Amino acid sequence: MTDEQHNVSRNTVLVVDDTPDNLAVLGGLLMPHYNVRVANSGAWALTSANTEPRPDIILLDIMMPEMDGYEVLRQLKANQQTRDIPVIFITAMDTPEDEAYGLELGAMDYITKPISPAIVLARVRAQLDLKSARDILHDQNTWLESEVQRRIRQFEKVQNVTIRALASLAEAKDNETGNHILRTQNYVNTLALELARLPQYAETLTPETINMITKAAPLHDIGKVGIPDAILNKPGKHTPEEWEIMKTHAQLGADSIWRAIRDEEDMESVKFLHVAMEIAGNHHEKWDGSGYPNGLSGEQIPLSARLMALADVFDALISKRVYKAAFTLEAAHAIIVENRGKHFDPQVVDAFEHCISTFQSIAASHADEGMTA
């Protein structure tokens, strides 16, 4: 190893003292072991501490003109870039009160003059070893935090793919759904964000809750997997008996999700599936109590399901079906507003009216053939 390479690999010590003789003594003591920089004032010490490569440790005199060592330390600690550099006071101020004050400000050690070379070298080495250990621990913690975040992102990707796969089971059986899942998911997210602007929903519709509702929305029709194909895809109006069977998909969906999570001990990890169960089981309930499967009304209906109810009906209205043509956006808008306080939560309808242009954009972005957009 060359002398230059050896110097680069060594720790750097910044010595700060306004007396040239003191700088010479400390510099001569430390130079055989470390890269040494010197500063003869507090202002220059701060400049040097902020110059790359930053010092690994600072030996700091207290009694200096213009800016004393205490003020230098305060400013070092206030700076994000220098606050973790260990500082050892080396000073003629030798009372216990002086030492206690210096340590209280954040100094790592306190050495009084006249110095003992062996003590200075031992204290500097000890603080550098502690700093090295702290740096290693910090790097390990940073790596662990990064790895945890990577695993979380990976888990969320798998979770999202799984949700999409489950939702596609219903989609595959119902050949008219197309991009219905994507559109309704975006409608629900739009409504939730709009409602969250209201004071009465600020605590309920947190970003975490909105994320869960949005993530769970694609599972709203999972229960259709349990409906016979002949009924689900009948190209005409259902008989009363067939309609009763068709309506069971809401409860079938809620029950299937419940069976998947009922034995899960860590309920927090499947919290969004509880929201999915609410949506699947209740998105056909109506504000006035005339819906199914349980005839719930008003706020008895979970908020997530009230959002889904409007999103689902709006999308059905503007979509082509074998038994009907697609309604225009204006006509669908009018029907939603007409059912304010009947089918739909009045405040959800108000939110819908505030963001109708966003609904139109979503419909256009994920349009099916023959659909109004």
Q: Which residues contact 70 (CB under 8 A, 6 or more apart)?
A: 62, 101, 102, 105
CA gyration radius, the chain: 35
Domain match, 116 and 188 both: no
- How does DSSP classify residue 14? E
Distances (CA, A) of 320 to 45, 192, 324: 75, 26, 6
Q: Give the DSSP per-residue string, 118-166.
A: HHHHHHHHHHHHHHHHHHHHHHHHHHHHHHHHHHHHHHHHHHHHHHHHH
Q: Establish how many alpha carbons lie within 13 A of residue 214's alpha carbon, considering only the half-sphere containing its beta carbon.
A: 16
Domain match, 98 and 237 both: no
152 assigned to some structural domain: no
Domain match, 127 and 256 both: no
Domain match, 297 and 179 both: yes
CATH number of residue 223's parent domain: 1.10.3210.10
Domain match, 233 and 336 both: yes
Listed in sequence order, the DSSP H helices in the chain are 3-9, 20-30, 42-49, 69-78, 96-105, 117-173, 180-195, 207-216, 229-232, 240-247, 249-261, 271-282, 303-318, 329-338, 346-354, 356-365
What pLDDT, on the 0 to 100 scale, is given for residue 1?
A: 42
Domain match, 288 and 196 both: yes
Domain around 123: 3-142
- The Cβ of residue 105 has, within 10 Å, a number of other Cβ atoms equal to 16
What sign has the CA pseudo-torsion 67, 16, 74, 104?
A: negative
131 assigned to some structural domain: yes
Q: In 3-state terms, what secondary structure has residue 186?
A: helix
Domain match, 253 and 307 both: yes
For residue 68, what is the enclosing H or E element?
A: none
CATH number of residue 31's parent domain: 3.40.50.2300
73 assigned to some structural domain: yes
- How does DSSP classify residue 99? H
Q: What is the mean pLDDT of each run of 10 residues along the chain (373 residues)?
A: 49 94 93 94 94 94 93 94 93 88 91 91 93 86 80 68 65 64 94 96 94 91 88 85 93 89 70 90 97 96 98 93 84 96 98 96 84 60
Token output for 234: 């009948």
What pLDDT, on the 0 to 100 scale, is given for residue 8?
A: 43
Q: In 3-state terms, what secondary structure has residue 38?
A: strand
Q: Could you give the number of structural domains in the chain?
A: 2
Domain match, 186 and 328 both: yes
